[in-house]
Amino acid sequence: MRKLLTGAAFMALTASAAAAADPVTLQLKWVTQAQFAGYYVAKDKGYYEEEGLDVTIKPGGPDIAPTQVLAGGGADVVVEWMPAALAAREKGLALVNIAQPFKASGMMLTCRKDTGITSPADFKGKTLGVWFSGNEYPFLSWMSTLGLKTDGSPEGVKVLKQGFNVDPLLQKQADCISTMTYNEYWQLIEAGMKPEDLVTFKYEDQGVATLEDGLYVMEDKLSDAKFSEDMAKFVRASMKGWKYAEQNPDEAAEIVLENDDTGAQTIEHQKTMAAEIAKLTAGSDGTLDEADYNRTVKILMAGGSDPVISKEPQGAWTHQITDMMKQ
C-alpha cells in the first residue's frame, strides 16, 4: 500500500510538473535531419524539461517558410538563415536574431570536373543550380561580387531553379549545383560520384559566407519578461544539446532518426551529417559574434544595383537572451 501511494504521489507530481512547464514551439528551417540535432538531443535528454519547458519541434519542408510561420503566430522561435531573415526584416517583418548556434557556413557550389570549371572565373556562361525561397540570397551576393549577371546573358550565368535534390548535376542539367557540406555533397557521393569527379567552392573559402541556422523571434515579443526568460532557458538547453551532439554525433544521429516520422532518412547519412554539422557549431556558445554579423551584412549589401538588402539593418540582433542564458 505504501508503495502504491508513493507511485501515485510520483505520478501526480510528474503530471503537475508537466502541467506547469512553459510551452515553447520551435519551427525548423527544413525536414527532420541532423542539421537540427541539437534541438532533438536537448528534448530527448530532458534538457528542456530541466529548464521547465515543454518544447514542440515542428519540422519544415519545401512549402514551409519559417518567417511566415513566425509572423502568423505558429511558432515562438524559428531556425532561419540570416540573409533570409534580414531580407524579411527590410520588407517589414521585425525578426530578431537571439542566438547563433552555427559559427560557420556549410554552403557550397559543387561542380562536375568534366565541365572544365577550376575556379570562379570559369562560371561565366555556365548553368548553376540555385535554391530559392530565401536560400538564393548568398548566391546572388556572390555573383554580384564576381561581377556576373544572373540573367542568362553570355557575360553572366544561367540560373537553374534547383529542387531540393542533386538530380541536375547527376543528369548534367547543370554544371554546378548548390550543396551543403553536410548533406547534398554526400548525396552525390552516395549516388556513385567520386570526390575526384567534383570541384567544390565553399562560401567560407570564397569570403562570401553568411550566417546560417540562427534562432529568430519577433521583436515585440522581447519586451515581455516572461517570454525572454523562456527564450533564455530554451537557448541554454539547446546549446547543451548542441555540445552533446558535437561530442556524440553517432548517438545524435540515432536520436534524430527516432524523430523522423517520414522514414525517409537513413542512419548512415544522418551520422555523416551529424559529424559535418559538428564542425559548424564548434566554437559557438550560442552568442552571436558581432563581427560575423557585420560580415554578413556587408556581403548582402555588396550587390551593386540589386543588393539583397539596401541599407544596414537596425535592431536585427540582440545579446539580451544569451546574456540572460549565462546568468
Q: Highest-confidence range of 35-39, 203-207, 306-310, by mean pLDDT? A: 35-39
Q: Which residue has the higher pLDDT, 216 or 1?
A: 216
For residue 153, pLDDT beyond 80: yes
Per residue in 72-112, pLDDT (tens digit) is 999 999 999 999 999 999 999 999 999 999 999 999 999 99
Tell me the CATH class for 22-104+211-325: alpha beta
Q: What is the pLDDT of residue 127?
A: 97
Quote the CA–CA distance of 170 and 193 in Å, as a whole number. Answer: 8
- Indicate the pTM of the whole model: 0.90
The residue ranges of every structural domain in the chain are: 22-104+211-325, 107-206
Q: Which of 34, 38, 32 is nearest to 286 (CA)?
A: 38
Q: What are phi and psi of 12, to 5 degrees?
A: -65, -40
Contacts of residue 176, defined as CB under 8 A and 6 or more positions apart, other chains included, come to: 109, 110, 111, 112, 115, 117, 123, 126, 127, 128, 129, 169, 201
Query: Can you say whether the dihedral through the CA atoms of 263, 57, 55, 74 is positive or negative?
Result: negative
Could you tell me which CATH class the domain 107-206 is placed in? alpha beta
Work out the pLDDT band at 305, boundaries 50, 70, 90. Answer: low
Q: What angle do CA 171, 163, 160 make, to 5 degrees?
A: 70
* Residue 36: predicted pLDDT: 98
pLDDT digits 0-9 by tens, 10-50: 454 444 445 589 999 999 999 999 999 999 999 999 999 99
Cα separation, 42 vs 45, in Å, equals 5
Q: Which of 138-142, 235-239, 276-280 is predicted least confidently?
A: 138-142
The answer to whether the 22-104+211-325 and 107-206 domains have the same CATH topology is: yes
Given the DSSP bridges, would you call strands 22-27 and 53-58 parallel, antiparallel or unpaired?
A: parallel
103-141 pLDDT, tens digit each? 999 999 999 999 999 999 999 999 999 988 777 888 988
Distances (CA, A) of 39 to 33, 183, 220: 11, 18, 24
